[in-house]
Structure 1
Amino acid sequence: MKLTVSFRNQLGLSQEMMAIYLAVAKSQLSMYESGKRELPTASLVKLADIALLLQRNESTAEAESELQKAQEVKLKTFLDFQINELEYKKLKEQRLLERIQKKYKQNVQLYSFAQHLQNSKTALAEVLLQQAIKGIEQNGLVNQTIQKMKLEIITSQLDSIHLLKKM
């Protein structure tokens, strides 16, 4: 009677699904499993078929091996896709970091130029100074560090996926 519980566990079936397969009510299967009731002969024959199937370890091992190979191919394809996506993302983020750094340097130069103009008391100096300060804030060390952190995260993800791929 507890054999059906073992079969259900091995196959990953709920009591309800097993009852459907055996063509009995769930309550009848429950009573059978607790030893309070018997199952119809047709249901017992189906249980015997399950027992025979589960005893054939060789065919199960072959099927499992084929399924395993198919899963490994899917995993390799998935990991390759993830690597490609992350490599692309890393390239984009690296280019963005380079742009931020370039703009930062430009704005530092602009700031120096604006200060020079301020010494000459040129009217354009204040406008350029404000523009330089705004550009330095937008592309400053905080934003550069944030961008570097994004790159480091992507690199870590890539390293992890490469490790998974080796397994």
Structure 2
Amino acid sequence: MDYTIDVNKYNLDLSGITSLVFEVKRCGRTHVLLSSSDVRNSAEPMYEIDIGYNNYDTFIIYRSDDSLDHESRKYVNFPTPDIFNCTMYYPFWISWKEGDIKLGSGIVIDDNILGYLTNAPQFEVKAIGVLTDYGELGSWRIQFEGNFEALNI
């Protein structure tokens, strides 16, 4: 989590929220980290959404800690070909209520579901981090209270 942009620095009150809407313009893989720790301690439980792994797959991961033990991770992967766009913003949403973590396209929660992980342990999200991967630049717009804030990463 050391290389993520901390969304919390925008004074977002995360108490009770169960979804995130964002747009991203990038040429490569991106990540969204949803942490149970308000100081983004990677040893604490977290959800990780890895969009565009190997230019084709997306992973939704529940991690109980930062170990590499198989027992500490539960995940699902699904194909998401042609999900990159270097010149336009692509909208996504993430929902994490009732133990189901879902990723979809667009800005309407529960529409256009791309994939989901069911029966993940549920926790209150206290910190959100975003990053683009492997030296790729990206621009993010994250929706706060109905408005999009721009982040250049």
The TM-score by the shorter chain falls in which range? Answer: under 0.3
Indicate the structure with greater strand content.
Answer: 2
TM-score (norm: length of structure 2): 0.19
TM-score (norm: length of structure 1): 0.18
Greater relative contact order (Cα < 8 A, sep 6+): 2
